[in-house]
């Protein structure tokens, strides 16, 4: 009996792409990845088996010429690499041209995307609603991703011996539990509405606000507060991490709170403390 070296039944590109996307647990990720691959294939106008190293390089150059950020280009290349790697592992393709394409180098700009506690208070003071003010408070105070924050429901919270625990569903549907300050919990009570499950809703409906709504709100509030209109919700998460470290939070606890799968991701926040040195903590 002749054994097949293929681990997939896919016979055409659309089938292997669907199989690859099915492994992505988040619907948002599936849609985003599908859009990126569709755009890439339209650019090359080739089947996956015909794509060369130069095709991928040309695509990245086109993104750069269109003025896309290096971080965005790197993220799109990561998606392309993921697909080709899957095709190779399943035996759908004999070669993976993406392994010969280097990742574009991204300048570490996190230090330029940090907000102080005073900055965050200024943002909160310039919001137009309790919902927007508390969304900023939660993302900064708890360190949540915007997708995690806008999908919070009252059922995610529990009280244990006077402590407020929050169960967060993060990337890949991974759950983690974080402690919420009682002061934040008390403020959140202002959002309670009978028959409404979500904290941050669209009007009076039991529908969570959209990511774009949150991002646009923060840009508008940032401009009004004099902090610029290029802010993003992720700045609040970055700022939470650096402020926590400054306050003495150890790295393993921060990793647990942020939901990082690798502590290497968390370690990047160790390099962002300007005008400080370890010598300041040694007295001799």
Residues involved in catalysis: 145, 171, 234, 237, 260, 269
For 177, the 3-state DSSP assignment is strand
> In what helix (H) or strand (E) does residue 37 lie, and over which residues does it extend?
helix 27-44
Q: How far is CA 105 from CA 46, 74, 174, 207, in A?
A: 27, 8, 29, 39
Tokens of 120: 């965050």
Q: Which structure tokens are listed for 265?
A: 């991701």
Q: Is 241 helix (H, G, I), strand (E, B) or coil?
A: helix
Exposure class string for 48-84: b at 16+ Cβ within 10 A, else e = beebeeebbeebbeebeeeeeebeebeebbebbbbbb
Q: Are strands 157-160 and 163-169 parallel, antiparallel or unpaired?
A: antiparallel
Q: CB of 260 within 8 A of CB of 266? A: yes
Name the burial class of residue 113, with classes exposed (0-12), middle (13-18) and buried (19+) by CB atoms within 10 angstroms of its CB: middle
Cα 89 to Cα 94: distance, rounded to the nearest angstrom: 9
């Amino acid at each position: 009996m002749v054994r097949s070296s293929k681990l997939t039944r896919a016979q055409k590109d659309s089938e292997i792409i669907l199989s690859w996307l099915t492994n992505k647990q988040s619907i948002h990720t599936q849609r985003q990845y599908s859009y990126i691959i569709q755009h890439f294939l339209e650019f090359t106008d080739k089947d996956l088996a015909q794509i060369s190293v130069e095709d991928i390089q040309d695509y990245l150059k086109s993104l750069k010429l269109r003025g896309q950020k290096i971080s965005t280009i790197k993220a799109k290349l990561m998606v392309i690499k993921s697909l080709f790697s899957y095709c190779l592992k399943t035996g759908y393709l004999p070669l993976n041209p993406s392994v010969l394409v280097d990742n574009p180098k991204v300048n570490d700009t996190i230090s330029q995307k940090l907000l102080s506690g005073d900055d965050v208070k200024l943002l909160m003071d310039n919001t137009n609603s309790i919902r927007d003010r508390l969304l900023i408070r939660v993302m900064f105070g708890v360190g949540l991703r915007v997708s995690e924050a806008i999908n919070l429901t009252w059922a995610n919270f529990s009280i244990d011996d006077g402590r407020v625990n929050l169960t967060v569903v993060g990337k890949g549907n991974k759950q983690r539990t974080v402690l919420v300050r009682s002061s934040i919990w008390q403020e959140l009570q202002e959002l309670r509405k009978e028959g409404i499950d979500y904290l941050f809703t669209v009007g009076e409906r039991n529908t969570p606000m959209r990511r774009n709504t949150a991002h646009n709100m923060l840009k508008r509030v940032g401009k009004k507060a004099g902090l610029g209109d290029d802010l993003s919700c992720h700045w609040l998460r970055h700022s939470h991490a650096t402020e926590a470290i400054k306050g003495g939070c150890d790295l393993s606890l921060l990793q647990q709170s942020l939901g990082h799968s690798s502590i290497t991701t968390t370690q990047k926040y160790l390099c962002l403390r300007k005008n400080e040195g370890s010598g300041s903590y040694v007295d001799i």
